[in-house]
Amino acid sequence: MKDLFTPLLDKAAARPRDDYAVHFLQELFEECVEMEITDLHFVPGKDFLIVKVRKNGELYPIATLEKEREPLITGRLKVLAHLPQYERHQVQDGRIRFEYEDRAIDLRVAFLPTLHGEKVAVRFPQKKQLLTLDELGLFTEEKNTLKRWAQAKEGMIIFSGPSSSGKTTSMYAILQHLYQYHGERLNIFTLEDPVEYDMPSLNQCQVKEDKGFSYYEGLKSILRQDPDVIMLGEIRDASTAYAAFQAALSGHFLLATFHGQSPAAVLFRLMNLGIDPLMIASVLKGIVHQRLLRKPCPHCRRQDKVAIKGGLACSIDVHYTAQGCEKCYYTGIASRLAVFQVVPLEEELKTMFLQKTDYSHLQKHVQEKYLAGWNQKLLNLVEKGEIFLNDALLLLIDHPAE
């Protein structure tokens, strides 16, 4: 990855000091867009400035620049983001718009004071394509469960998982499914920060905290618009959580994301926010926990033998490694694949939750009843060359199913 940026860096180094940052950042931005980079980082050190990029969830260092370049770069970034250059000891957030191939691209930029200077993170918008439920990668049983939940006229489905794990994409797949079958007969709203997909058939709202339009205030406003379905980009706090559950309890159908390391953890986090367990049991249809795993590049992957047996009660014979090639920018990673844990809130689970069963027993019940085949599903994907063995093993450790 680093070698791909060498020509750009050499060209920038040869420019006069006054022109360095202007041309360097423009060309770096263009290269990042071309390579579908998601994040660009400038990390200050005591004697240098490190530049890193993130692609397919992996972070790669691409350059170590002289310390004297740091104020030129951060200063130019602040000019582009319309932020005060003199302020170096406070957190600053802004947006940058730059032109690339006759189109305007909006970037989000954040400055954070550190011991050796300002750390800068630049987020690039991704080329996102709306996916249907059939295209998400769900197993047949999981897909049918989601379709059954989507038939409800009230209640809630919660999507959990790490940041940037595709939760919003999954919720939009359900919204497409609903619109396909009901069309204009449903009044559908989304409340997001930011709005990630443009669907003209929906009422899409952008959260603006600085204007007083938070998730909580936005949800209250939407409830005055006679909604049938509401997609909530994130449940961030207790007030939003309570308002969402009240809305679902009063005859609306909600989709929402909520951070949790497992389906059982989601239930306990909701309770810790002060949501009555009886309300959770009455409203929640189920939890979809998902992650994105790295997919080996099909152009440079190689098959190796492996033996996974013993306590896992499942096995595979082969797995794939990838050394990197021109097609994958020498990362060995083609893209990422979503894997799902779909857990319905059935009666036995509700009873355990209402009886305030401790977390370990609740987690064990979820794993034994709903994730019994989880390990083998992951290992089957490894054997087909869909994901890396190391990534699968991490999930087996996090979520032992057998």
- Least Cα distance to 1 among 43, 56, 45, 48 occurs for 56
State the average pLDDT over residues 162-187.
Answer: 92
Q: How confident is the model at residue 400 (pLDDT cuts 50, 70, 90)?
A: very low
Res 309: pLDDT: 56
Q: What are phi and psi of 330, to 5 degrees?
A: 60, 30
Residues 324, 50: Cα–Cα separation, whole Å: 23
Q: How confident is the model at residue 125 (pLDDT cuts 50, 70, 90)?
A: confident
For the chain, give the mean pLDDT.
Answer: 91
Say if residue 155's pLDDT is above 80: yes
117-123, strands of its sheet edge to edge: 58-66, 48-55, 39-44, 117-123, 103-114, 92-100
Within 13 Å, how many C-alpha atoms sit on residue 234's CB side? 17
- Name every residue whose Cβ is closer than 8 Å to that of residue 372 and which is 6 or more positions away in sequence: 401, 402
The pair of structure tokens assigned to 217 is 């205030």
Angle in degrees, CA 216, 221, 223, rounded to 5: 95
The SS3 call for residue 188 is: strand
Say if residue 137's pLDDT is above 50: yes
Give tens-digit pLDDT for 260-270: 889 999 999 99
Residues 287, 157: Cα–Cα separation, whole Å: 6
Q: How confident is the model at residue 314 (pLDDT cuts 50, 70, 90)?
A: low
Give tens-digit pLDDT for 319-335: 999 999 999 999 999 99
- Least Cα distance to 131 among 389, 399, 340, 375 occurs for 340
Say if residue 402's pLDDT is above 70: no
CB atoms within 10 A of CB 142: 17
Lowest mean pLDDT of 39-48, 78-87, 388-397, name the range: 388-397
- Spell out the domains of the chain, with CATH numbers in brackets: 2-123 (3.30.450.90), 133-289+344-354 (3.40.50.300)
State the average pLDDT over residues 7-34.
Answer: 90
Q: What are phi and psi of 375, to 5 degrees?
A: -60, -45
Tell me the Cα Rg of the chain. Answer: 23
State the average pLDDT over residues 31-52.
Answer: 95
Res 242: pLDDT: 96
Dihedral of the alpha carbons of 208, 211, 215, 218, in degrees to the nearest 10: -110
Say if residue 190's pLDDT is above 70: yes
